[in-house]
Structure 1
């Protein structure tokens, strides 16, 4: 038996991704006439998509059946434009159609955060900050991040993972006001990881576990959505300080593109800024008590 099963059947994943992207477009969305009220398939037909991309129907059909081995970058670009893919979706399509062996080999490498990064996190006391890696693994954090999101240090290393926390820990639904959006974002990140590293057995195990334990995860995974969010706003309801509205910035680390530093901040002089100050004070007090008990 294969001890390192592939997460993705590349042909099936390419096929399903193209099908789901085609299904979300209607002829009128792309300037085509809509003849007839009853269409056998949702969204564009294959021949309509092929017309928009400037390729033959037979060629596009082979591609949507998962045969992307010899497809050119120019054709993928044309199909991406026809499907109105985002930059993240375009990159995902390219990875599925033309997977790279190097990426597959790198997937087996263990993730490690440089000690200097943890020192940097510890020096940042006024904003919650953490480093996240592949599979949404949480690799390092500062005290304020622990006070805001929960003490990840109390979890087993395998459970320091945003996907497991979001879908398997009921407290996350109380913490994130827009939990559905948080859940959708996490699944989209996992989809991108799966496209980059189709042979990552740990990712395969994570997806399998969540698919068994969470109906919501199964539903979101089936959408094949992918996206990247470099910045945005999160609304939280913290059990100690109440409602918080925080902006976040995602900074991808230049020496390891699989790791990102996330930092959260509040508008100056806002109620959320006051809430963060209270959490920072509470976190320092808790650390002091913990040190006295050792």
Structure 2
């Protein structure tokens, strides 16, 4: 009974949302003439015609009746209503569908200036940003202190997955490399999803399949995992073992970016070791601006 009420309530929310958006549409932008003095707002019949949806069915939707809208219908209405990506995702979530996959969107490897400023403001905490295809697009000086090669590797190779399987320094830096490498392959597959056929993704996977048998084994296992926050151990050649907490997050205004930030475990000597590393070893930040 409770679940049925939630479904019915969500349909009512969808209907209310479309009713309000219908009244806000500018008729001229949709190629429709003004109705008297009214230049905004569509009639239900017009929404039905433009979306290819039955007028009876659309009326029932706005009325919040006990119906189950399909994803195809909601997508059609979203196009007619000129919904933003956030609005479209909101409507789909109310109906129990996943957010639309923007598979054809280009991938921008440059990060906004304010995102670089945020990473720099973290000062003594290593942090970096990766794009949807896992290219490392920004980092701070503390990150360079932890992993110097991030600032010197060729831009074409500055991919988290590529470096994890091809850079001997990184393999030595991560003592639990076998587990971390498998976890990252599974997280990459889960994150990429339907975009794996896109050139950025398929070319990277192809390179890795040719370069690393370990990657091939992990890739062919078809593991799926989330990129989560966790405790990490790094074995640094200068300051020794660093016990850090890895925080993974996605900015609400840039869902194509993933931020990874490391903070020291307070229960160990990591704070002092990390301060020593950052104070004595970090060259200037050289991430793209």
TM-score (structure 2 length as normaliser): 0.61
Distance in 2 (CA, whole Å) between partners of 1:176 and 1:115 is: 30
Distance in 2 (CA, whole Å) between partners of 1:281 and 1:269 is: 21
Distance in 1 (CA, whole Å) between partners of 2:197 and 2:267 is: 48
Q: 1:129 aligns with which of 122, 127, 130?
A: 127
| Residue 196 of structure 1: how far off its partner (Å) | 3.3
Q: 1:118 to 1:161 in 2, by over 3 A?
A: same
Q: Which residue of 1 aligns with 2:229?
A: 231
Q: 2:206 aligns with which of 208, 231, 238?
A: 208
SS of residue matched to 1:104 = coil
SS of residue matched to 2:238 = coil
| 1:240 and 2:227 matched | no
| Residue 112 of structure 1: how far off its partner (Å) | 2.7
Q: Which residue of 1 aligns with 2:144?
A: 146
Q: Residues 22-37 of structure 1: matches in 2 within 5 Å?
A: none
Q: Which residue of 2 aligns with 1:103?
A: 102
Q: Which residue of 1 aligns with 2:253?
A: 255
The answer to whether the Cα contact below 8 Å between 1:103 and 1:196 also exists between their aligned partners in 2 is no
When the two structures are aligned, how many residues end up with a matched partner? Answer: 192
| Residue 282 of structure 1: how far off its partner (Å) | 1.3
SS of residue matched to 2:230 = strand
- Cα RMSD (Å) of the superposition? 2.6
Distance in 2 (CA, whole Å) between partners of 1:123 and 1:151 is: 21
TM-score (structure 1 length as normaliser): 0.60
Highest RCO, 1 vs 2 (Cα 8 Å, sep ≥ 6): 1
SS of residue matched to 2:151 = helix
Q: 1:198 to 1:99 in 2, by over 3 A?
A: farther
Distance in 2 (CA, whole Å) between partners of 1:129 and 1:109 is: 21
SS of residue matched to 1:122 = helix
> What are the Cα deviations for residues 171-195 of structure 1, in whole angstroms up to 9, with x where unaligned?
1221001101211122112212442
SS of residue matched to 1:144 = helix
Structure 2 gaps of 5+ residues are 1-69, 72-96
Structure 1 gaps of 5+ residues are 1-71, 74-97
Q: Which residue of 1 aligns with 2:193?
A: 195
Distance in 1 (CA, whole Å) between partners of 2:281 and 2:228 is: 27
Q: Residues 38-53 of structure 1: matches in 2 within 5 Å?
A: none
> What are the Cα deviations for residues 105-151 of structure 1, in whole angstroms up to 9, with x where unaligned?
12x33333111111111122121111111222111011001110224
Q: 1:170 aligns with which of 168, 171, 175?
A: 168
Q: Which residue of 2 aligns with 1:182?
A: 180
The answer to whether the Cα contact below 8 Å between 2:128 and 2:138 also exists between their aligned partners in 1 is yes
Q: 1:137 to 1:224 in 2, by over 3 A?
A: same
The answer to whether the Cα contact below 8 Å between 1:104 and 1:198 also exists between their aligned partners in 2 is no
Q: Residues 63-82 of structure 1: matches in 2 within 5 Å?
A: none
The answer to whether the Cα contact below 8 Å between 2:123 and 2:142 also exists between their aligned partners in 1 is yes
SS of residue matched to 1:230 = coil
Q: Which residue of 2 aligns with 1:268?
A: 266
Q: 1:148 to 1:233 in 2, by over 3 A?
A: same
Distance in 2 (CA, whole Å) between partners of 1:162 and 1:226 is: 17
The answer to whether the Cα contact below 8 Å between 1:136 and 1:186 also exists between their aligned partners in 2 is no
